[in-house]
Amino acid sequence: VSFEEFVAARLPALLRYAVVLTGDRHLAEDLVQDVLISAHRRWKRIAATDRPDQYVFRMVTNAYLSWRRRWSTRTILLVEPPERAADEQADRPDQSELWLRLARLPRQQRAALVLRYYEGLSVAETADVLGCAPATVRSNTSRALAALRVEPTFAYDQGEHR
């Protein structure tokens, strides 16, 4: 697959992932743009891997984890998150609170949560993307869930990886 074909096919998904990861539209744009320009430099090597999409996905995650904190006024000045639509409040009264707590998580914990609960990756796959041990993923996920006051499922309590 050529770099141009890859960008055409995968850019929307990468932007969606980046915005969930960062919680900021502009930061997500910058992140994905930087990563793809950087990926272009070594595209031959990336295209030769089994899963170029997974490689770039990992690059986006690593870039997020290593990026210095940037302007965040825009996010913080929202008095409450915009997801508080009336129809959502009725059946999910705690969503705005959850969103605020999510924004405060340390990056490693947030990345672990997004990979596990948004991307649906297993603990082993999440560890692979984050470049850490599965035990670290479990520990980060557990701490993040506690901070968010999310009740883990029985399967998770038992150490089920998926």
Partner 1 sequence: MITEDDLRASLRALERLAPDPAPVAARIAAGVRTQGRRRTAVMVAAAAATAVAVAVPIGMLGRDTGPTAGPATAAPAPATTSPVPARRSPLTVPFTVGWVPAGWRAGLTETRLDGDRRTYEGPRSTDQLLVDVQFGKRSAGTGVTRTIENLGTVVVRGSPDETVQRRVLASVRPADERLTFPFRLTWVPAGYLPVAAYSGLRHWIGDAAGNLNAATPALADSSLSFDSRRTLPGRLYIGVSSQSDQLAMQGLTPNGTFLGRPSRYTDKAGFAVLIVYGLRGADLSITADTRGRPELTRAALERIMAGLRVAADPGDPATWTADPLP
Q: How far is the CB of 49 from partner 1 (least distance, A)?
A: 20
Q: How far is the CB of 124 from partner 1 (least distance, A)?
A: 19
Where on the chain is the footprint of partner 1 (CB under 8 A)? 3, 7-8, 11-12, 15-16, 19-20, 23-26, 28-30, 32-34, 36-37, 40-41, 67-73, 76-77, 79-80, 82-86, 88-89, 92, 94-102, 104, 113-114, 117-118, 145, 148-153, 156
Looking at the Cβ atoms of 5 and 131, the one nearer to partner 1 is: 5
Sequence-separated (6 or more) residues with CB below 8 Å from residue 156? 141
Polymer length of the chain: 162
Q: Tokens in use for 52?
A: 């170029």
Give the residue among 101, 136, 94, 100 at the shortest CA–CA distance from 115.
Answer: 136
Q: Tokens in use for 92?
A: 């999910």
Distance between alpha carbon 158 and the CA centroid of its chain, in Å? Answer: 24
Looking at the Cβ atoms of 50 and 154, the one nearer to partner 1 is: 154
Q: How far is the CB of 82 from partner 1 (least distance, A)?
A: 5
Looking at the Cβ atoms of 48 and 79, the one nearer to partner 1 is: 79
50, 51, 54, 60: CA torsion to nearest 10: 90
